Chain A
Amino acid sequence: MTPTLCRSALGAVCLMPLLLHAAGPQPDLTALPLEQLMSLEVVTASRFPQRVSEAPGTVTVITSDDIRVYGYRTLADALRSVPGLHVSYDRNYSYIGVRGLATTGDYNSRVLLLIDGVRANDNIYDQASLGSDFPIDLDLVERIEFAHGPGSSVYGGNALFGVINVITRSGADLAGGEATVGAGSGRALQGRASWGRRFDNGTEILVSASGLRSRGGDLTYPELAPLGVAGGVVRGLDYDRNRQFLAQFAHGSWGLQLVHAERTKGIPTAAFDTAPGAAGNFTKDSNSSVALRYDGPLRGDTDLAARAYYGRYRYSGDYVYDVPPLVINRDLADGRWWGVEARVVSSAWQGHKIVAGAEYQSDTRKEQANFDVNPRAVYLQDRRRGERFGVFAQDETMLRRDLRLNAGVRYDHVDGGRGIFNPRAALIYTPAPRTSFKLIHGRAYRAPNAYELFYAAPGPGGQKGNPELRPERIRTTELALEYFTFAGWRLAGSVFQHQVRDQIAAIIDPGDGLQVFRNGGSVRSSGATAEVEHLWSSGAKLRASYSHQRALDGAGNWAVNSPRHLLKLNAAVPLGAGLRAGMELQHTSVRRSLAGEVPAFTLANFNLLVPLGVRGDELSFALYNVFDKRYADPGGPEHLQDRIPQDGRTVFGRLRIRF
């Protein structure tokens, strides 16, 4: 204790460290290199705050500053900048591909989406909503973490290709009111009003409401011309509207989060053989959730995190068929679930960091229906319940001063099926403070979902259920290197191999012509990623990555929707007077589509931030696809279009004010 420092300080403040010290000696942290002190703590990879360099796996972090400076408007936009990821859009939903693994006609059921650590995939399609249907406004996101590779050893089902954890801002982050208005191409209008603060007693509150309304541009589909659409041009069908509400309360170790969002999207592509050019094709997705959380110490060296949650997902799709006359076929899904989970993080045993937990989820409703509205004809009415249960444990232990082993396993039991074990082990070698090598091997799975098991609609082009489906599994091996140069450059690289077994995929049963999901063969992907990142003293930053990936389908052919090369460049530069510019370049190589190929393309995006005044008011102006590049994504089996053309150059301007 330094007397000089305590002479003027209050006695109690000087006594406290003494009491704290009685619990055990504190290590001298000043002996550690800055990077080790500083490397971001990550909640995703092992479910406890952990530094990126220690996470068993490669984690990419997108910060709220990245979201602002690069002008990301959807979670899908932000994920496009992650090494090895590519996102396709069919003008209804956004679909993520990871390290060359992507399936057409799957609703992102192979990535786990977490919002503040709570599962956000629904319980019918296991869908991860990444586009305008993602329930949280990106302005309210503090960071997005993408943990590459299998996460089932901690998180359970659906964490096959990776885990997306979206961490929201708190009331203290907001510290006042904030409002935005924006407008852009496709007659898009967007607005948000938020307010948050931390009160003197420690209570934090955040409330926010946002909305988007976009007419969408006119689109040309030559495939529709022979079907009676003049010139193949569809007008006013690409509309997109959403509403998002978020409320958060926190006090001490407790937190409560309420989310409600709904999104209505027109379907311009005449998907599922609907009447081409008809105005009544749309989907409406609603997500609502309540989560109560507790994060606090059990004892000095053991923390408890507990969650109780309720979730509801509703989907309604109107599909207009020219029978004739025009008939509206309505497709409905209603999923409801609640769950509890608890985990402890303990360092009570010297040299070990143990995480153990259990989770129970009750699917109180998994309902699917399909019927013609008028004349009414019911084709499907299927309502089920279900439950899932999982327990897991993970230990990180130091084998040598420079060598650590992180090993864990989770056991899951879903809806009376057979139990399934998913282990993961990582060996982390740190020969020098700024260098780490990680060798990771892990398995992950997903259980077949209600849609794949039970959806059935008779007749031509229909579908039938398959209750015999088995879980789909993946096995991944990865070697990753991370190195910080003395000047602060981060260099990272990895080589990986993924092998999917019993892949659940849709085929047409030759016996009756109906679509059915079956466990297929083995899909493999292997490749390598290299990444470089730097931040200059001027405030400029740069992140660049290249991924080479080779994915083969069950028959040993080049997999559909799997680019071999992905090149990404993100740069932000200060322009003086507080102005900042963010630029992105993204190259996606040629991909196989269901019937042919879609060509390679390079996109450039540009965003300018203009500060107004001192309160943090800001004007932003974004140009997406600056060079108006014509490009397309492969269409899924429900589309007539083998290639789905994407937007040319679009603009979006926005004003943010704080009060």
Chain B
Amino acid sequence: VSRLTVVTAGDGIAIRALGDTAVLVELGTAIDIETNRRVFALAGGLQALAIDGVRDVVPAYASVAVHYDPSRLGRETVVDMVRALLRQPVPSLSDTQPAVDVPVCYDPSLGPDLLSVASATDRTVAEVAAIHAGAVYRVFMLGFLPGFAYMGVVDSRIAVPRHPTPRARVAAGSVGIAGSQTGVYPRDSPGGWQIIGRTPLCLFDPARTPAAVLSPGGSVRFVPITRHEFDAAAPRGGA
């Protein structure tokens, strides 16, 4: 007896119930750009349809959740919509949005793990900063906190693992590395990522449209700035 009510949709895609109010579409089981582009295309397609009864569409690394109101929409209808969208071609790379520039001050006074990351990877602070700022990153998904973007792929030369025990407080704007992922803390919070710098940018403000600076499927470039530039831009007054 199949308890999981899994519907396969070819290409190793599985569609299954996520409880009685959501459907989970799994497009893969790994973090890779090709899978994530299909995630983004499916989530975008579902959001564009703006179906009555769909309460939320949530893209993750390799899966999409569709939260629905069972009083207005049956699970079979949701599954049918997903299957129809999966048959459509994924937009080519040229359709993606331009990269967002995120200014970062790579200074040990703002990046408490910068010196230890440099020594662990046998590089200078300047080299760590140059490698981190030298790539264009993809926003795989948002989560953890409003506006927190999980981005990749971090150059293997500086891909240090997260702290075994999270810090009690990481400052808003902190830029961190966790293995092949990089991210920016939108507000003060506990956190375990290796903090190598800080941005003066406010990444999430519910009063602004859009509220989040970064969005799933987008791309990001980190632009190094000096401590002086950081202080001039940061309304919080820095460290």
The answer to whether A and B interact is no
Chain A residues packing against B (C-beta within 8 Å): none
Interface set of B (CB-CB < 8 Å, partner A): none
